[in-house]
């Protein structure tokens, strides 16, 4: 398989979905917003974007299946499966805020081999393929070289539905407010991850996530020289509902703080 060619084609598909989202943004109102759960929203734009993406990817790789947020396709295959979030940051989108992103990853067996995150509002396409560097709009990107948490800018995300760990999670916020350059909450995990990849922030952590939130972005972080893990420090971060992502220099310090607090 020509991973590079396929990845660049996926970038085009993500851009087309983003173009549609921009065109529809002014049409969103309360009557067009559905709730999938507490603070978990979906619009016709999410659904139509996913339909567009699934249709286009099916033509690129007919033997592939899908793990997609809105359930457009329940086709699952043994070897190739696309992991898709058609619009990561829906709450931002419906409120007229940025960022929001299209996130597409290709899983081959147990491995991610292509990752594309298109942050729509800034027209920034982040991407990588198996054994490639990471790119932002054709320029190579790398994680930050900052080597201490107290010199780092960090990002996190707030849980939408799983509040079982909220007390300990709030303690992590308290710690990093006091021991870093600051915390940001952008509202799009895919964007948080690619911002780690390009060195805009040094680290990101969140729990209560889905595979489509993190698969593409985490892969791009790795190709940019970063590292990912779950809160226990193992590699169960795509399907394990939690992730720590950072440059290699601060990773152990960041992980140790989060693991210690979240285990209490």
pLDDT of residue 40: 45
How far is CA 124 from each of CA 99, 115, 139, 257, rounded to the nearest angstrom? Answer: 11, 14, 11, 32
Residue whose entry in the numeric block shows the structure tokens 């990093």: 176
In the chain, which segments carry CATH 3.40.190.80?
149-262
E strands of 149-216, at which residues? 153-156, 182-184, 203-207
User: Cα–chain-centroid distance for residue 154?
Assistant: 15
Contact 247, 141 (CB under 8 A): no
pLDDT of residue 264: 52
pLDDT of residue 33: 58
Name residues whose C-beta falls within 8 Å of residue 172's C-beta, 6 or more positions apart in sequence: 156, 205, 257, 258, 261, 262
pLDDT of residue 39: 41
β-bridge pairing 124-129 and 134-136: antiparallel
pLDDT means per 10 residues, the chain with 264 residues, are 97 97 77 49 81 96 89 76 96 92 97 98 98 97 98 93 86 97 97 98 96 97 98 95 98 97 81
Contact 189, 210 (CB under 8 A): no
Domain 149-262, what fold? D-Maltodextrin-Binding Protein; domain 2 (3.40.190)
The domain defined by 3-140 carries CATH number 1.10.260.40: no
pLDDT of residue 128: 98
For the stretch 91-126, what's the b/e string if a residue is b when 16 or more beta carbons lie within 10 angstroms of its beta carbon? ebbbeeebbbbbbbbbbeeeebbbbbbbbbbeebbb
In the chain, which segments carry CATH 3.30.540.10?
3-140
User: What predicted TM-score, i.e. pTM, was given to this entire model?
Assistant: 0.93
What tokens were used for 53?
Answer: 């993406």
Long-range contacts (CB closer than 8 Å, 24 or more residues apart) made by 74-81: 79/108, 79/109, 80/106, 80/107, 80/108, 81/106, 81/107
pLDDT of residue 51: 94
DSSP state of 123: T
CA angle 223, 226, 227 (to 5 degrees): 110
């Amino acid at each position: 398989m020509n991973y590079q060619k396929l990845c660049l084609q996926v970038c085009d598909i993500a851009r087309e979905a983003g173009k549609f989202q921009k065109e529809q943004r002014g049409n969103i109102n309360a009557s067009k917003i559905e709730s999938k759960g507490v603070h978990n929203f979906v619009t016709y734009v999410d659904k139509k974007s996913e339909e567009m993406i699934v249709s286009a990817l099916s033509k690129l790789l007919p033997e592939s299946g899908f793990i997609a947020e809105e359930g457009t396709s329940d086709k699952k295959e043994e070897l190739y499966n696309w992991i898709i979030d058609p619009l990561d940051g829906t709450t931002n989108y419906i409120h007229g805020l940025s960022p929001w992103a299209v996130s597409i990853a290709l899983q081959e067996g147990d491995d991610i081999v292509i990752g594309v995150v298109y942050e729509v509002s800034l027209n920034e396409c982040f991407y990588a393929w198996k054994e490639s560097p990471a790119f932002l709009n054709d320029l190579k990107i790398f994680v930050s070289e900052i080597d201490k948490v107290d010199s780092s800018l960090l990002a996190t995300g707030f849980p939408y539905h799983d509040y079982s760990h909220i007390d300990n999670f709030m303690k992590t916020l308290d710690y990093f407010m006091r021991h870093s350059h600051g915390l940001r909450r952008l509202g799009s995990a895919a964007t948080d991850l690619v911002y780690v990849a390009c060195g805009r922030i040094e680290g990101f952590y969140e729990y209560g996530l889905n595979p489509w939130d993190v698969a593409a972005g985490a892969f791009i972080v790795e190709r940019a020289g970063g590292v990912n893990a779950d809160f226990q420090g193992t590699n169960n971060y795509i399907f394990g509902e939690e992730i720590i992502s950072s440059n290699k220099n601060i990773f152990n310090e960041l992980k140790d703080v989060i693991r210690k607090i979240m285990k209490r």
